[in-house]
């Protein structure tokens, strides 16, 4: 049976909010404590590196942060079971912009995650990911 528990690095928790997929409620939770870092899990289960990258890319494909949400960053923790079902979504380190946070959680909920790699022994994993959005300046130099 496939089982996994992946806990990664959580930055210093300024504010913690938990978003439960089934209820949609948000409440404070400062008890998020990782058992393993991302690096420890990837060393144990090398296929998780590809899985993590794929999940991150899928979230980015669904993510549409508000236009005014520049210079923000948030860290989410996704709990995914061995069949690829998203069973939890935590904002471990939210940005100060609620619209930014909501858009990130909404994107994570829309993804259809793959089943966990066969080498993983735990029932579920926690993927910890930081997302940020920075203002970009576009140069309009004309070479005349």
The tally of domains found in the chain comes to: 1
The answer to whether residue 1 sits within a structural domain is no
Residue 7: is its pLDDT beyond 90? no
The answer to whether residue 144 sits within a structural domain is no
Is residue 127 within 8 Å of residue 77, measured between CB atoms? yes
Higher pLDDT, 115 or 25: 115
The answer to whether residue 97 sits within a structural domain is yes
End-to-end CA separation in angstroms for the chain: 65
Domain span at 30: 17-133
The answer to whether residue 68 sits within a structural domain is yes
Facing residues of 63 across strands?
A: none
- The span from the CA of 30 to the CA of 67, in Å, is 29
The answer to whether residue 138 sits within a structural domain is no
The answer to whether residue 66 sits within a structural domain is yes
- The stretch 73-97 carries a mean pLDDT of 93
Residue 56 sits in a domain of what CATH number? 3.30.1150.10
pLDDT single digits (tens) 8-62 = 222 222 222 333 333 333 333 444 555 567 788 889 899 999 999 999 999 999 9
The answer to whether residue 96 sits within a structural domain is yes
The answer to whether residue 5 sits within a structural domain is no
Residues 6+ apart with CB under 8 A from 95: 69, 72, 73, 74, 101
Q: Note the pTM of the prediction, 2 decimals.
A: 0.71
């Amino acid at each position: 049976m496939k089982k996994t528990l992946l806990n990664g690095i959580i930055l210093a928790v300024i504010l913690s909010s938990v978003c439960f997929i089934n209820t949609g409620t948000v409440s404070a939770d400062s008890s998020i404590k990782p058992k393993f870092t991302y690096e420890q899990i990837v060393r144990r289960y090398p296929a998780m590196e590809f899985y993590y990258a794929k999940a991150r890319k899928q979230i980015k494909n669904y993510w549409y942060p508000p236009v005014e949400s520049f210079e923000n960053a948030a860290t989410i923790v996704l709990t995914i079971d061995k069949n690829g079902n998203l069973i939890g979504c935590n904002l471990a380190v939210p940005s100060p912009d609620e619209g930014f946070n909501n858009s990130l959680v909404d994107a994570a909920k829309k993804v259809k995650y793959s089943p966990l790699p066969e080498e993983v022994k735990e029932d579920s994993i926690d993927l910890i990911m930081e997302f940020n959005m920075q203002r970009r300046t576009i140069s309009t130099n004309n070479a005349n």
